[in-house]
Every structure is written in structure tokens, then in C-alpha cells.
Structure 1
Amino acid sequence: MRNRSELVLDLRKLGLIDRPGEWSRLDTTVPAPEDLRIEMIGVPEGSPIELALQLESVVEGIYVSGSVRAAAQGQDARTLEDLELPLDVAITELFVYEREPGDEESYTVDRDRIDLEPAIRDAVVMALPFRPVKDEDEDGEAFRYTLGEDLPESVPETDPRWSALKNLLDEKKES
């Protein structure tokens, strides 16, 4: 486990090791770790990530809950224009003192420390849209596809080629 990262917390300093019922609040801003992204969008390395977390000591380990806020940057999947997407991701994870046999997915407490980076990475990357799209452009208009020529604003209600049939139907209704 890395000791230099701001995402590695010393539970002894927080007074949480083997003290079920104790809790500590963590409100801080840290730089984003590398590779916090998927193909078209991600949080740039070193950009600020706001953490608003509560760490609770429970019998099994440390329960971490709260939110992670960041700004993801990428490209619109339709237009390939640059876009920025604010993220506010909920995180709820249990860091266990001891893993059950065969359990490879649980986060663990290692030498009285927890590394929040894998849990934050999992939460943020899972919240990123697979196909990011820009909802509105600079003018506040929603994106619209245009195929071929634009249609005129006043389109006639009936096609003139069907007017003869319409006349026959109107005559039949009148009689």
C-alpha cells in the first residue's frame, strides 16, 4: 500500500482502529489519481476531487460512506466536441479487517491504513457515461440531427397528390 498518497488514511490517527461505534468525518480536496477514465471521458490526473466522507468503525472493519465530486472531461460521442461533465458520486464501502476465503473483491484494512483510491476509482469510473453526449449547445438549444435538406417551416397538411382521394372521402361523408 502506498504511504505517500493523500488517499491513504491512517486509522490510528483518526482513532478508529478496533473501536466499533467511533466515527470520523473527512472533508477534503485531493488531486485525482491517474487513469480515472474510460475511453471517451474521464477525470484528468491531478484535477481536484472533493471528498465528503464519513468513516465509521464497525466490528468487521471500517465503513466508508459519502460522496465524491469531480469534473470529468471528454468528447461528445455524436459530435466529438469537447465537453465537461460534473460528477457527484455516492460511495458506500466496507474495508474489512480480514477477507473471507475466496473473497477477492473486498477492500481491506492494511497495517491500520485504508487506501481509498481503488474504492473511489470503482465508484467514479462506474458513474462515467459510456457514450457521453452534450445536452445543450452554447445557445441553449438541444442537439438535433439533420439529414439532407432542412424541411420548410410550413409543411402542407396534405400531400397534393392525395387531394383527389381526399375529395372523394369528403363527398362520401357528406352523403
Structure 2
Amino acid sequence: MSATESSSGSKEFLLSIHELPRRSGEYRDYRLHRTLNRPFGLDMIAIPANEEIDLTLTATSVDEGILIRGRVRSKAVGECARCLAPVEMDIDQGFDELYEYESKAAALSDEDVETDEILMVTEESVDLAIPVRDAVILALPVNPLCEEDCPGLCSICGTPWRELDGEHGHEERDPRWKALESLSERLKEQ
């Protein structure tokens, strides 16, 4: 599945947690508003560039690191998978992610655990790009529809079925009969 996304490591979704105490159980609430500099989502439907994305977050200190509970809200636009009409939908998706302290992750790397999949607390901040991207992609339909029972397009002329009457049709003849049609026309002329 192809996804247009903000790359991890960008400063677009960095959350500073320097004011969060390191004692287990301590927490802080955050609200972030970001304007995207490029589309964020799937090929058929995505949050467009220059659209606002709102994050409501709770960061909690735990023994292993920082637990981030968040909610992503925004608007996505795209095309109906059946008739190509414009589609717009609201996104409201939650996520939970554990960001580990570097010392804890170093101990894990000694135990043959893949550490490149571990989210890390770095220099008093956490990069929310990966969990935000995952939450957005989970909220988006792979095949967005303008209406649940969208009839799609006429396969011959490409006109949306909802704009056509019930009598719409195309006379198609098998090309193998073309020679007989010309013979039939010649016989009618005689």
C-alpha cells in the first residue's frame, strides 16, 4: 500500500516533554495544532497539504519511558473509488504509544530485540510522526465511497450511473460479425 506521509524525523510532529516529571504516574496534557506541508494519507484519500491537524495528547511517565495517549482530528478529501466524485470525511482516531528511554532501549538491544521499531524519547522530546501517520491511515477507508451504494460509472461511456436514466445502454456488437454486417448491408441495397 502506497502512502503519502510525513517522514519520521521531521520536526513537524515533535512534542517537547521537558516539563514532564520522570516519576512514574506523573502526566501532562497537550494540544497541538499543525498545518501539514504535504498530503498525509493514502492515494485515494488523504489529508491535503495546508490542512490543519489537531492532536489532543496525554503524556504519562512510566517505568519504561513515556506513554502517549492521543487523538488525531482533521479532514480528509479524495475521490470515490467507484465514480470518482469528490469525497470528504472527518478523521477522529485515537492511538496509544510507548516511547522508551534510551537506557531502557539499550538494555533491550542486548537481548536481541529489534530496536529500530522502538519509539524513543530523544533530548526531552518525542516524535509523533509515526503514531499520527498510523492513526490517520487506520481511520481512512482504502476504497472511499461518495455514498454507500454508489452505482459507479458506465463501463462504456464513463458517465456516472446516477446521472443516467434507467434506459441507458450501448449497442455493442461482437467485432467478429463485422464482415457479415457489411454483407447484410450490400444485400439490402440490391
Structure 2 length as normaliser, TM-score?
Answer: 0.66
Aligned to 2:75: 71
Aligned to 2:140: 128
Q: Within 5 Å, which residues of 2 pair with 1:71-150? A: 71-98=75-102, 99=105, 100-101=108-109, 102-135=114-147, 143-144=150-151, 150=166
**Residues 15-51 of structure 1: CA deviation (Å, up to 9, x unaligned):** 23x2221101112321135341211010112211111
Aligned residue type for 2:100: V
Offset of residue 149 of structure 1 = 7.0
Offset of residue 123 of structure 1 = 1.4
* 1:33–1:117 contact (8 Å) kept in structure 2: no
Percent identity of paired positions between Structure 1 and Structure 2: 30
Aligned to 1:15: 20
Structure 1 length as normaliser, TM-score?
Answer: 0.71
- The reply to whether residue 28 of structure 1 matches residue 29 of structure 2 is no
The unaligned stretches of length 5 or more in structure 2 are: 1-8, 153-160, 168-190
**Aligned partner of 2:50 among 38, 42, 46:** 46
* 2:30–2:58 contact (8 Å) kept in structure 1: yes
The unaligned stretches of length 5 or more in structure 1 are: 137-141, 152-175
- Root mean square deviation, CA, Å: 2.4
* 1:67–1:88 contact (8 Å) kept in structure 2: yes
Offset of residue 69 of structure 1 = 0.5
* 1:29–1:51 contact (8 Å) kept in structure 2: yes
**Cα distance, 1:134–1:104 mapped onto 2, change above 3 Å:** same
* 1:35–1:45 contact (8 Å) kept in structure 2: yes
Aligned length: 142
